[in-house]
Amino acid sequence: MKIIIKNKKLDKIISDDKTLIRTIGFELAKKVRKRCNEMKASRNFKDYLDIGIGDPHPLVGNLDDLFGIKLNDNVRLIVEPLSDNLDDESLKNCEEVNLKGVADYHGEKCEWIIP
């Protein structure tokens, strides 16, 4: 599967290890790299969901149509499957995701850590 980043600021942070570590710390940066590599190793987004690494789950509210992937207890990698629909068949054909950022959406607000 391919990961794209449409946000230029986020792309600049994610693309450079030193900047990523400076922005979110070594442990979270290591987890971001790990989760991205796991997604890249999947054939499609449905396969990634079925494997369940990082407890990927659909989000609701203002994050509808996005998925959260666990980095630690509260922080999630937020991705958008680039698919017409989110049904199983569409996600089987989804070979690209847009990385939206890293956020803590627990509680009553969504706090974006990056971008």
Residue 7 has pLDDT above 90, yes or no: yes
- pLDDT tens across 60-84, in order? 888 899 999 999 999 999 999 999 9
Query: Confidence band (pLDDT; 50, 70, 90) for 106?
Result: confident
Global pTM value: 0.93
Contact 91, 46 (CB under 8 A): yes
- pLDDT tens across 23-48, in order? 999 999 999 999 999 999 999 999 99
Q: What is the pLDDT of residue 37?
A: 96
Domains belonging to the chain, first-starting first, are 2-114 (3.30.2310.20)
